[in-house]
Amino acid sequence: MENQTTPPGQVRAHVFISGNVKGVGFRLATWDKANQWGIGGWVEELPDGRVEAVFEGSKELVEAIISWCYRGSPDAVVKNVTVGYEEPEGLTEFIIRRSREPVVYKKPTSVNTKTINVLFFVHGLMLSDNPTPEEKQYDILWEPVKKLYNLEERIDEIVRVNWGQYLDETDEPRPDEKINKAEKFILDQLNFDRLRQKPSPNNIVLQDLQSDITFQPWWRFLVKPLRETLLLRGFGDAVYYVGEDGKIAVQLAVYRQVLKVLEKYRSQIEEDIETEALRIKVRLHAIGTSLGSTVINDFLHGLFSNTGYRIRSNPEEAKEPTIVTSKVLEDEKQKTVERYQFWRIAAQKKRLELGSVVTMASQLPVLLMRSQRVVDAFANGQTLPADEIGIPRDIKEVIWKIFYDIDDLLAFPVRPLFGDYPGIQDIQVDVGDGLKAHTSYWGNEKIHEQVAELLNRRVVS
């Protein structure tokens, strides 16, 4: 697409990249980067093994993507980058141009596209010293649901994600697997009864509080489990995830497990993108509870959001959207990040799509405010675009079901924050009383029926 008039301050760079840059995903990575940053132009492979590209945009953005070309895709080895500047043509879209040499590939024998349905579960806050292994927790919901509508046969892959709990005593725990033990240590050290039973010069109880009648036994009975179970243990998981190191560790743990399963379909999808065929596509279905709902939201946002339109109006947002922004797990991140970036490309090429989402006991409304952009939107009375997590704007059916119990202190409805989307549905349920409410969603029969109905509609072959 071309504009009739080129915006002021726009530049056009004509770039040639040489080295080991052919057959290593350099074009796809360039296409993804340009679209993330709102840069127009094109990229193609040359018969001599070089990659040629044209970039049009603001001077800052064009210089930034030229600098990126010196690194390129993870498997590329760049030896030289030649840059020349030309008169801009007003290009606003970035495309991959077909190679100038003939492309030989086996055409698909069928025009029908096969859809691979991948269902993944993500648990949330852990409120006990000995968390239930994720397989048992997820199967409380999945065992009855899979028997309805023949869903067991229709789901191609199931991923039972584990994070934050160390279940295998034979290996060194990952950073995220230490959080449950850390919370237990804090809880043991700060236990109210333990502190009162062991007074010391640095641990005293004022005499007036010894007989304080304002704290009745019934109130203490309520406050103690709220403080120790929900705040110290449950809220500790959320605080860990909000912190930069915790977010990185949890996302790497969760994303790695999902992307490992998707990897078996990558080569065929990659070939389809190169040859403009459409033999298969992957449809994601996610079920999560508590903090897992936020992790799922972040995972989908990174895959389906298109930042280009925002960057064109605000070039300061032109930074690499990556799941890793510090040196935590530096040696382990590369493969996961590279896989994640590929599936982001697959989503933009319509080879990856969102099938359905189920979230239960979610704190997402609070945790969305980790982003200043979201804070600014809410402060201005604006809602969020659901298409940034893969829900099409023109969808007419429900894709995302949100379950919450008003007796659950850590559960909130979500739909009003995304505006009037037909694709999102809040459902109030009664899953239990007191602290048990937050951990009882998996076994609720009414939720089982709703989940089965959603999957039946959205699982396609």
Name the residue with higher pLDDT: 208 or 231.
231
For the entire predicted model, the pTM comes to 0.75
Name the residue with higher pLDDT: 226 or 22.
22
CATH code: domain of residue 64: 3.30.70.100
Least confident of 171-185, 212-226, 317-331: 317-331
Q: How far is CA 320 from CA 32, 37, 59, 62, 341, in A?
A: 11, 8, 17, 14, 11
- Please give the pLDDT value at position 325: 39
Q: Is residue 368, in this structure, part of any structural domain at all?
A: yes
Name the residue with higher pLDDT: 188 or 82.
82
- Please give the pLDDT value at position 109: 41
Q: Is residue 307, in this structure, part of any structural domain at all?
A: yes
Q: Are residues 408 and 363 in the same domain?
A: yes
Q: Are residues 201 and 63 in the same domain?
A: no
Mean pLDDT of 281-304: 94
Of 188, 215, 241, the residue that ends a domain is 241
- Please give the pLDDT value at position 92: 84
Least confident of 55-64, 171-180, 255-264, 423-432: 171-180
Q: Are residues 58 and 183 in the same domain?
A: no
CATH code: domain of residue 158: 3.40.50
The percentage of residues in the chain with a pLDDT greater than 70, rounded to a whole number, is: 79
456 pLDDT tier (thresholds 50, 70, 90): very high
- Note the pLDDT tens digit of each residue in 19-42: 999 888 888 889 888 888 889 999
Q: Is residue 103, in this structure, part of any structural domain at all?
A: no
Of 43, 63, 96, the residue that ends a domain is 96
Q: What is the DSSP string of 333-351?
A: HHHHHHHHHHHHHHHHTTS
Mean pLDDT of 335-363: 89
326 pLDDT tier (thresholds 50, 70, 90): very low
Is 191's pLDDT higher than 70?
Answer: yes
Q: Are residues 26 and 147 in the same domain?
A: no
Q: Are residues 332 and 437 in the same domain?
A: yes
Q: Residue 40 pairs with which residues in a beta bridge?
A: 56
310 pLDDT tier (thresholds 50, 70, 90): very low
With b for 16 or more beta-carbon neighbours within 10 A and e for fewer, the 125-146 pattern comes to bbbeeebbebeebbbbbbeebb
Q: Is residue 37, in this structure, part of any structural domain at all?
A: yes
Phi and psi for 192 in degrees, rounded to 5? -60, -50
Q: Are residues 380 and 298 in the same domain?
A: yes
Q: Are residues 199 and 308 in the same domain?
A: no
Q: Are residues 148 and 222 in the same domain?
A: no
Q: Are residues 392 and 444 in the same domain?
A: yes
Q: Are residues 212 and 318 in the same domain?
A: no
Name the residue range of residue 79's domain.
10-96
Q: Are residues 305 and 335 in the same domain?
A: yes
- Note the pLDDT tens digit of each residue in 62-120: 998 998 999 888 778 899 999 999 998 888 888 888 765 444 434 444 457 899 999 99
Of 46, 65, 96, the residue that ends a domain is 96
Q: Are residues 355 and 415 in the same domain?
A: yes
Please report, as a single letter, which amino acid is at residue 19: G
Q: Is residue 413, in this structure, part of any structural domain at all?
A: yes
**Angle formed at CA 145 by CA 282 and CA 418, multiple of 5 degrees:** 60
How many structural domains comprise the chain? Answer: 3
Is 453's pLDDT higher than 60?
Answer: yes
Q: Is residue 25, in this structure, part of any structural domain at all?
A: yes
